[in-house]
Amino acid sequence: MILTFFRRILFLFLFAGIFTAAQAQEYKYEIGAMPGAAFYMGDANKNGFFKDLNPAFGAVFRYNANFRWAFKANMTWAKVSGSTNGQLNVFPNHAEGSFSRNFVDMGGQMEFNFFPYSEKYAYANAKRFSPYIFAGLGMTVSPAGKYTFVGPNIPLGVGVKYKLRNRINLGFEFSFRKLFGDGFDVTKEENAFLDDPYHIGGSFLKNKDWYSFMLFCVSWDFGPRNRVCNSINSNSSYR
């Protein structure tokens, strides 16, 4: 189900790019803060959405290419945790374990706004509210001695944004981060079995860990675009 959702998001990115007009925003950049929560999904939490929520906090920088498209860079600190206690699936030798991990997520994403986003430019049907989708590439870093985790991730998500007033934006987004490994939930010898516990290996998409963010955002616009002023040259002559 999740993979089907991701495929639809990627298809929508490609489809939308074909029909997007190159309309300019008044400001080129945004910078802001993103408080929220994070949770993990993997061997210690197979399908419990929003289970074991932990705090997350980040910073965001966004380049607004036009009303529809934006390019975003983020750095987020978060904590995730999980436990096999109470799960229906049984691990080899009836092993049980739990983990907790602090980490930093860094990356960049491309965003598509469903509505032209601005509190001005009514002639272009711009709106101060818009849902959006995003995808990109990131890096997850979590120092833990022998069990340090460093690896790439693929962020995919949805969000909404609202321009409260000139230069001030409010938003909320939910995203999945798909990891390329199965050892994110291994932090000590006692839970080392969580790295491929059934010894069946896995592909790029199967048997890998995930984590998710639910983040609120407050951002400030800056960097006005150059405005072209059409004026009559005072040295022009008329007949």
Question: Tell me, what's the pLDDT at 24?
Answer: 55
Give CA–CA dist 58/35, Å, rounded: 6
Whether the predicted pLDDT of 59 surpasses 80: yes
- HEC string of 191-238 equals HHHHCCCCCCCCCCCCCCCEEEEEEEEEEEEEEECCCCCCCCCCCCCC
Whether the predicted pLDDT of 146 surpasses 60: yes
Token pair in block for residue 194: 């969580």
Give CA–CA dist 198/91, Å, rounded: 7
**10 in helix, strand or coil?**
helix
Q: Give the tens place of pLDDT for each residue, 175-208.
A: 999 998 888 988 888 777 777 666 666 555 555 7
Look up the pTM and report it.
0.79
* 8 A C-beta contact, residue 176 and residue 210: yes
What are the backbone angles phi and psi of residue 113, rounded to the nearest 5°? -85, 130
Q: Give the tens place of pLDDT for each residue, 70-81.
A: 999 999 999 999
User: How many other C-beta atoms lie within 10 A of the C-beta of residue 149?
Assistant: 19
Question: Tell me, what's the pLDDT at 19?
Answer: 43
Q: Which residues pair with 214 in a beta bridge?
A: 37, 174
pLDDT band for position 235 (cuts 50, 70, 90): very low
pLDDT band for position 231 (cuts 50, 70, 90): very low
Q: Give the tens place of pLDDT for each residue, 86-135.
A: 666 666 666 677 889 999 999 999 999 999 998 877 667 888 999 999 99
Whether the predicted pLDDT of 220 surpasses 60: yes
Rg from Cα positions in the chain: 22
What count of residues does the chain have? 239
pLDDT band for position 18 (cuts 50, 70, 90): very low
> Cβ neighbours of residue 198 under 8 Å, at least 6 residues apart?
91, 92
Please state which of the ranges 97-106, 143-152, 219-228 shows the lowest mean pLDDT.
219-228
Q: CA torsion sign, 174 to 179 to 182 to 188? A: negative
Question: Tell me, what's the pLDDT at 20?
Answer: 42
Tokens 């460093």 correspond to 150
Q: Which residues pair with 72 in a beta bridge?
A: 62, 109
Question: Tell me, what's the pLDDT at 203?
Answer: 52
The amino acid sitting at 17 is: G
Question: Tell me, what's the pLDDT at 194?
Answer: 72
Mean local confidence (pLDDT), 7-26? 51
Domain boundaries, the chain: 2-13+33-224
> What does CATH list as the number for 2-13+33-224?
2.40.160.20
